[in-house]
Each structure stands twice: as C-alpha cells, then as structure tokens.
Amino acid sequence: MQRLLQGNIIKLDNHTGVSFVLRIITSIKDDVSSFLQTQYSFKEVFGTLVAQKKLFDVVAKPLVEDLIRGKNGLLFTYGVTGSGKTHTMTGSPGDGGLLPRCLDMIFNSIGPFQAKRFVFKLDDKNSVDVQCEVDALLERQKRDAMPVPKTPSGKRQIDPEIADMINVQDHCKVEEVDEDNVYSVFVSYIEIYNNYIYDLLEEAPFEPIKPKWNNCNTPLRNGDFIPPQSKILREDQNHNMYVMGCTEVEVKSTEEAFEVFWRGQKKRHIANTQLNRESSRSHSVFIIKLAQAPLDADGDNVLQEKEQIILSQLSLVDLAGSERTNRTKAEGNRLREAGNINQSLMTLRTCIEVLRENQMYGINKMVPYRDSKLTHLFKNYFDGEGKVRMIVCVNPKAEDYEESLQVMRFAEMTQEVEVMRPVDRPLCGLTPGRRFRNQAFQEELSRKLELRGGPIDGEPEEQCVLETFLQNFPPLPACELLDINDDQTLPKLIEVLEKRHKLRQMLSKEFSKAVLDLKAMLQEFDCSVASKENQIKVTLSDKEKTIARQKTEIERLEKKIKTLEYKIEILEKTATIYEEDKRNLQQELESKSQKLQRQASDKRRLEARFQGMVAETTMKWERECERRVAAKQLEMQNKLWVKDEKLKQLKAIVTEPKMEKPERPSRERDREKPVQRSVSPSPVPNAPPVRLRHRRSRSAGERWVDHKPPSNLPTETVMQPHVPHAITVAAASEKALAKCDKYMLTHQELASDGEIETKLIKAKKAMNLP
C-alpha cells in the first residue's frame, strides 16, 4: 500500500503567489479587532524566493527516474485562477520550469543510448512496435525529403524565446540507466476544453473564417484556421486510458521536444478576465512517452519481441483555475467556460473523496470517473498504475481567502488516500554489458586490421581486401586469335592461368592461416574479456552482497516501522472507538436519567391529578345526590299538597254548602311539617312541572353591576346567582358604575384537577377599574 499522492507542495511567488507547505497558516483580517486563522499540513513547503531547480529536485525528479525505469507518473498543478500554475509548469525566460527541466533530464540520461528515428513506431491502440532497419531507413528518407526551414549555416532555426526557456544548464541526469537498452521519446499535447478533448499538435487546414463560431459552439482561437475536431477516449488491452487519434511526435533532443510543446501552447485557449490577464480556459496535458527495448545477445540489434518492449509515460497537467463568477463578472462564453472548469474540478474532488471513503470504511463504492474527461483520462493513475504528485498553488491575497481554504482542504485530504502499486516487470534473461562488449570488439577488430594493412581512415574492408588481392595476380595477356596457325597465344594464356592458380592456392593458405590467427586472437581476447568479467563479477558480487545486506536491513527496519505505525494506528483507532463509545454511553445514561426524572414527575403529577379528580368526583356526586334527594322531597311535598287540596275541596263540597276558597299552605309550614314516608298515590296526570329556581341575592332591591367577562361560561345550575334589575357588562365601565352602588365580578379559572372553578367577587362601593 502506498499513498496516492506522494506529497502536496506549496510555493509562494512574489509575482504569481504560488505556494507548497508542510505546515501552512493562512489568516485574513475581517475587521479591526478579529482575525480568522486556519492550519493545514503538507509534505513540503516552498517560500516565495525558492528556485525552480529546488522545486524540480523535490517534485519532478523522482517521476523522471521512474519514467526511465519503466513506470508511469502524473504531475499536475492545482489552485485558484491567477495563482501561478502555468508559470510553475513552464517557467520564465532564463529560468525554466518543471516541463523543460524534465525534458532536459530525460535526454541527458538516454542521449548515448537513443535508437535511430522510426525504429520504434506507435500505433493507434496505445502500444509500440519495433521496425526493421529497412523500414526505418525508408521512413527516414521520406522525412529527410520534406522541406525544413534552415539557417544560413545549415542548422534548424530555433525560436529565441524557446532557447531561453530551455537554457537550464544543470545537466541533471539519472545515474542508473540500463545501458543495454535503446530508447525513443514521443510527445503529445492535448487540452480539455468545455469537457471536450482537442489535439493541440494536429495540423488544422488554413481557411478563411466567415462565421464567428464553428459547429461545436467553440470560439475560434486565432481567427485564421478552424480548430481540430474533439477526440475520444479509449481503453487499450492493458485497461489503460488513452486519447484515440492523438498526434504523437518522436523527438531526439530537448530543443525539439520543447519546440513541439510551444507550437501547441500557442493554440491553447486563454482569455482576459478580471482576475488574470492571460487566464487558462482549459486543462492542458503534455504527455511524454518513453519506449525502450533491449539489445540482442550480440549487443548490435534491437530485439523485436513485443513482450520485451516497455512503454512508460509521464503526464504533466496544467489545470485551469477555479473561479467564482461573481468575482470575474463572466458572461456568455466566459461563463460557460468557468462552469465547465469548476464542474471538472468538482468531479476530481468527488473521485478523491470516494477513494478516501472506500479506504477508510472498507466499502466498494463506485468512483465517478466518467463524469468528467479529466478524471476519466487519469483513471489508471488513481487506481494505482503510477505515481501521482500534486502541486498546490495558493495566492496569498485577501480576495482569494475562501477559494484558497477550499483548495488546501482538498489537497490535505488527498494525502490520506492509499492505493495498491503494481509489481515491477521482470528483467530479460540476457547478459548485461552487451553494448560495450560489442563496441570494444569492433574497436579491437579495426585496430588489428590496421596493423595488418587492413582498412585505414574508414575505408570499406571489402574494397581494400579486393584491391590487394587483384594486385597480387599477374595480368592476363591478349586472348585474340588472329591467325589459325598462331601457337604462342594459347601457351602464354595457359602459363598465366597456372601462375594465377598457384597464387590463388598460396593466398588461400595464407587466408586460412590468417583466419586461424584471428581465431586465436579472438580466443585470447575472449579469455581476457572473460577474466575481466570474472573480476568484475567478483567485485559486483561483493558489492551486491553488501547492498543486499543493507537492503535487507533497510527492509527489516521499514517493516518494523510499518508494523509500529500500524500498531499505533490501531491503538489510535481503538482509543477513538472507546472514547466514542464512552461519549455515547454517557449521553445515553444522561438521556435515560432525564427520562426517568420526567417519568417520575409525570407520575407524581398524574397521582395528584387523579387524587384531585377522585376528591372532586366524590364531592360532585355527593352534591348531586343531595340535590336529587332535595328535588325528590320537593316533588313529593308538591304531590302531597295537591292531594290534600283535592281532599279538602271534596270535603268542602260534601259537608259545606258554601264554596270557600282554600288557602294554599305556605312553604314555611310545608318545610316545618315532617315528611311522611307513606306510599304516595299515583301522580296526577295533569300536575304542573316543577321549575328549578336560581339562587337569588338577598340584596335584590339594590342596584348592581353584574360584570361577566366574555370568557365566562354559564354553569346552568341552581347555584348560579341571579340579580334582578342588574346592569350586565362584559368589560369594566365607569358609566355603569356611576349608576349603581354595588359591583359583582364572575371569574372563572381552571382548577388543579382540570375542572372549571367559578369565583364571585362583590364590592359595596364602586371601584375605579383600569
């Protein structure tokens, strides 16, 4: 397991404001008395005065070393618009950036071991083939026949601006380069604009432009040619993503490679915004592919076995800066460009966050690579097929504070993502040192031939041997027979031919002897070479043993460190889990305690309420029983009185002649009479109903003010007070109080048991009410 991003870096530049930090603190003043401060952690930090060489040594040099060893690499700059991403990648005249320094290091390392042009040939399926020498020679002849602009001295003309950019003068190179391999470098340059992929090296036809827009709704870049059509992404047989139909140019020097880059850079989409005078409106990707294959056993020709060919690539990505439209005041096409840029960067963040989530929680959530061409193109890097490094560019301006926080938060989070790295490819089984052994053999053979009168000053060997052989033979005489009796021509010819035959046999013997001498010399040379090889092998074996011991010790220490780190991580996670469980249990205990307290209080309240309700219900039923008994008694008394009256009337009719009006007994006398509990006769059918009378106030003859608020509810009981001739008001009125001398207020409220409690408040004198 290795980290996806090997380290994020920040560099603060005086003129661009780019920054990479190990521990960075950003602060901005909100008002006179308060400051906001945020802290982030990174692997490396570079200040404002850092040199481009130091930045290259830390960030890009390991990627170039991996490229030559056959591994892939991805380096991209990320930050807010105007923070100096393009400057960090390309540099300035006299001080080249990361891209020219990478090219210079590659060609300094493989310069003596480069294959001839067109020996390696890339196809449309992201693979490479090795051509035979004849096919490569034919293609070179076709290329040489094409017109190339030259200077009066005969050399290719180089743009002075390009010469200043690539004038690195560091001569940095990889120390351990496989000398038995041959190498070729191919470069391509694309851009992702509005989520479309365009080839910046494709030669577009020059045509006069009439409309202002093309069929793809894309603004024309220079106004004198139609931009190329968009490209599509494909997946090769090794499940690697590539741009189909992209122009790939074979280059043999740093100048040629950077010239190709500069030609594509002029076609890139840029625009003038309120935040940046030359703002990049697209993501540019400069791809460097390195094809390498081993030499055969003789160290002379390239092996044409396809499984022995290694194709590695280094992608240098200059991302477009994220920007807010309320700051740039973008409209129309600029607004559309900014939306696509922000959308692709948001997709990049989402992919990294999903990778981190899958790693942390052990899930297999699908990563949305296909939501953007940028993430879809580099899907293999995020899955582990190569090393990824990100340069975080930060502009230390107060206006970019919010955007810078988002950039650094994302960059810090990406350092926590880990992926599996593929194992290295096995080496071929050929003997190392074949190239230099073949060169030494050729040099020794040339030296021996010179000592024996062989080819000198680079003359062809076959021509010298043929001239020496012809000089040793006698010249042939004239062979024309002019007379039939001529007997001298044929004998002379026979004699010359015999001499030639003898000379041929002598030369054949000498040649055989020379061959034997040469074989002996070669055997002697092989013995010396073998002895030297044995010495070298012994020395190398000793060194390899020492290195192996050191590597074993380093691996042991690394494993121990990883084990300790793993244990520390497990302990930290365990402690975090225990603390979380403790907090959860404490919260659960507190919630349960509060619940129990609420339940106890509710229980006490319900008990009090139930007791009040029971008491109230008991009293209510007692009053109801008394009322019913009194009503029953009054009803029986009325019935008895009616019966008595009828009896009296009947007796009077029977006994007395005169009709006298019977007197009705008063209620006082009826109350004084005891109620006789006898069986009452059946009620009279036409008896009048008994009417309930309300309780009357004893001061009925006085003037009262009956104040009943609107919230008052009539109880409809006999205890309801009734004051005749009273002035009933709903609110306090001084006019009503002036007419009366007494005041009565009916107040109702909710008792503790939930029943309505009615209170009467009386006053003998009028009061000034508010």
Angle 580-586-590 from CA coordinates, rounded to 5°: 145
Cα 162 from Cα 96, distance rounded (Å): 10
Cα 665 from chain centre? 107
Cα 74 from Cα 288, distance rounded (Å): 10
| Residues 387 and 63 sit within 8 Å (Cβ to Cβ) | yes
Please state whether beta strands 249-251 and 241-243 pair in parallel, antiparallel, or not at all (unpaired). unpaired
DSSP 8-state assignment for residue 362: T
Q: Annotation-wise, does 85 bind a ligand?
A: yes
Which residue do the tokens 């009796």 mark?
A: 485
Cα 199 from Cα 197, distance rounded (Å): 7
DSSP 8-state assignment for residue 278: T
Task: State whether residue 429 is helix, strand or coil.
Answer: coil
Q: Tokens at residue 761, please? A: 């408040």
Cα 334 from Cα 755, distance rounded (Å): 74
Q: Annotation-wise, does 429 bind a ligand?
A: no
Which residue do the tokens 């074993």 mark?
A: 552
Q: Tokens at residue 389, please? A: 């490094």
Q: Annotation-wise, does 601 bind a ligand?
A: no
Neighbour tally for 66: CB within 10 Å: 17
Q: CB burial class (10 A; 0-12, 13-18, 19+) of residue 610?
A: exposed
Cα 140 from Cα 398, distance rounded (Å): 57
Please state whether beta strands 73-79 and 387-393 pair in parallel, antiparallel, or not at all (unpaired). parallel
Nearest to 675 by CA among 625, 639, 628: 639
Cα 291 from Cα 309, distance rounded (Å): 7
Non-local CB neighbours of 267 within 8 Å, separated by 6+ positions = 200, 221, 222, 227
DSSP track, 608-648 = HHHHHHHHHHHHHHHHHHHHHHHHHHHHHHHHHHHHHHHHH
| Residues 56 and 98 sit within 8 Å (Cβ to Cβ) | yes
Q: Annotation-wise, does 86 bind a ligand?
A: yes
Q: Annotation-wise, does 375 bind a ligand?
A: no
Nearest to 191 by CA among 117, 100, 285: 285
Where is the binding site, in residues?
Answer: 79-86
Where is the binding site for ATP, in residues?
Answer: 79-86
